[in-house]
Amino acid sequence: MAAIPVDLAARDLNAWVNFLRTAEIPVLKQTAREIGRLKEDEDNLSARAITNVVLNDPMMVFKVLSYAQKHKSRSQLQDLAQVEQAIMMMGTGTFFRNIPPVPLVEDALKTNLTALMQLLKLIKRAHRAANFAVEWAAHLNDLHAEEVLIAALLHDLSEMLMWCYAPEKMNHIHNFQAADKTLRSKAVQQEVLGFILHDLQVQLVEVFQLPPLLGKLMQDGASGEQRVKNVTLAVNLARHSANGWDDAALPDDYRDIAELLRLDVDRVMRVVGVPDAPQS
């Protein structure tokens, strides 16, 4: 992985954006292993087989979509917001040749296992959000459910990247919030990083030319549109339930989801897997 320039110790959003613009985006060791296995049978592979592996790793999803957007042909008018579509357009040979699954997250954080654990928790949470979002999209007859899934997977991309490249600062943020549950995330991020992760996310979407649709879906409360609400509520539910099913924010989540899906709250709680209260 590229060394961090000294000036990135500064509290400067633009410096981080400029660094990440050319940085090597790390992927999970499991992703690299699976892609290596697929490459051994490259001639007989389908885009779907590769997609199934890529979707397991939000950062590999980001690498694929940003590459596809940057290398669109002039005749290609459509933005590529789906992984399988992007791989089909570029071809499996280009995928293996030009989007190598390196460097590895585990190597980047081998001296900071606390940060690695937090990053893996965040990725697990992103998968939960994506699963919620795609299930609700199916319920709502959304014909492009994978776009909603990917938006939920990438919703916290900026936080994932900062865990990789600024693990000590991210550890400080986590410790401050663990010690005082009343602290607002944005306030702590501003204090420690000098900027808010959401602002970094907005800039990354633009710099890496991610499809405007994905950028829109990844913006909390950016619009009253059903698909944006779906992603926002899925991310909220995944984040709050990660604290345990007794988290104080969950009743509001259930009510909001019930409104989105046009179901009653009890049904929503069953749909999302809330465990039954123990019998007294």
Q: What percent of the chain has pLDDT over 90?
A: 72
Q: pTM for this one?
A: 0.92
Residues 175 and 254 in one domain: yes
Residues 131 and 190 in one domain: yes
Domain span holding position 31? 27-102
* Structural domains counted in the chain: 2
Q: Note whether residue 182 is domain-resident.
A: yes
Q: Which CATH number characterizes residue 222's domain?
A: 1.10.3210.10
Q: Which residues contact 254 (CB under 8 A, 6 or more apart)?
A: 265, 268, 269, 272, 274
Residues 143 and 83 in one domain: no
Q: In the structure, what pLDDT confidence band is assigned to residue 259 with cuts at 50, 70 and 90?
A: very high
Residues 226 and 136: their CA atoms lie apart, in Å, by 11
Q: For the segment 179-216, what is each residue's pLDDT rounded down to a tens digit?
A: 998 888 999 999 999 999 999 999 999 998 887 778 88
What is the Cα Rg of the chain in Å? 19
Q: Note whether residue 32 is domain-resident.
A: yes
Q: Note whether residue 213 is domain-resident.
A: yes
Residues 239 and 235: their CA atoms lie apart, in Å, by 6
In this prediction, residue 42 carries a pLDDT of 86
Q: Note whether residue 11 is domain-resident.
A: no
Residues 90 and 160 in one domain: no
pLDDT at 8 over 90: no
Distance from the first to the final alpha carbon of the chain: 54
Q: Note whether residue 15 is domain-resident.
A: no
Residues 144 and 76 in one domain: no
- Average pLDDT for 234-244: 95
Residues 150 and 219 in one domain: yes
In this prediction, residue 6 carries a pLDDT of 43
Residues 89 and 215 in one domain: no
pLDDT at 280 over 70: no
Q: Note whether residue 145 is domain-resident.
A: yes
If we measure between CA atoms, which residue out of 68, 32, 63 comes closest to residue 160?
63
Give me the phi and psi of 160, to 5 degrees please.
-60, -45
Is the Cβ–Cβ distance between 111 and 37 less than 8 Å?
A: no
Residues 124 and 97 in one domain: no
Residues 226 and 129 in one domain: yes
Q: 109-112: long-range contacts (C-beta < 8 A, 24 or more apart)? A: 109/163, 109/164, 109/167, 112/167, 112/168, 112/171
- Average pLDDT for 100-111: 96
Residues 68 and 188 in one domain: no
